Amino acid sequence: MKPIPAPRTAALNSSSPARPETGNLPEARQHLLLSRLPPVVNVAVLDDHPVIAVGVSAYLESRSGFRVLHQETSARSLLEKLSHTPCDVALVDFYLPQDLWDGVSYLRRLRRYHPNMAIITFSAGNRQETQYAAFRAGANGYMAKKWGLSLLPEMIRGVLSGKHKFLTVRDGRVHSQEPTAPHESLTTSEVEILRHISQGFSVTQIAARLV
């Protein structure tokens, strides 16, 4: 098994910011490289918990340079609002159990209908799995809810700057990092065990084969 290279990461306040790499960027993200940061960022917020939606909106409204145009608890409602009044960025909860779409399907729909809008998703779920799924669905950034709201303005400005393919939060700082598939972090033995399970072997049979 080939060794897995360490993911490239860069803190946003690095003294030598990363240059945009337009060659390999998915088409849905290339628009960000051609945009200038607007003087006032228009934001849409979607979370199925009203308290969280209100809290995120109130926090951003209290920060200079941000205006929340849509504060929604329904995925369908946000799509309807955006069709009439587009935004620069949408903050979307990845897990919406009360809606018809799962997180991946909804992010893809947002990206298809609004190719010029930045998308940041957040959740309380597994960070690695969720951010990789969000990245593959077309999101520009991911932030776990445990980090609170203080890093949101930096992340929003970061994705709109167009200098980063994907932003995430690690160790309390916003970093530029392209997510890797969760299975890439497994050891050779773990991959072998999963392969045996997929082939229908019992635990006893797998143990015997690994001895």
Q: What is the pLDDT of residues 59-98, one digit of tens each?
A: 999 999 999 999 999 999 999 999 999 999 999 998 887 7
pLDDT of residue 101: 79
pLDDT of residue 58: 96
Name the nearest CA neighbour of 46 among 96, 109, 4.
96
Which residues of the chain are under the pLDDT cut of 70? 1-36, 125-127, 182-196, 198-199, 206, 208-211
Name the nearest CA neighbour of 43 among 87, 94, 73, 84.
87
89 in helix, strand or coil?
Answer: strand
167 in helix, strand or coil?
Answer: strand
Detail the DSSP E strand segments found in 61-172: 66-72, 89-93, 118-123, 141-144, 167-170
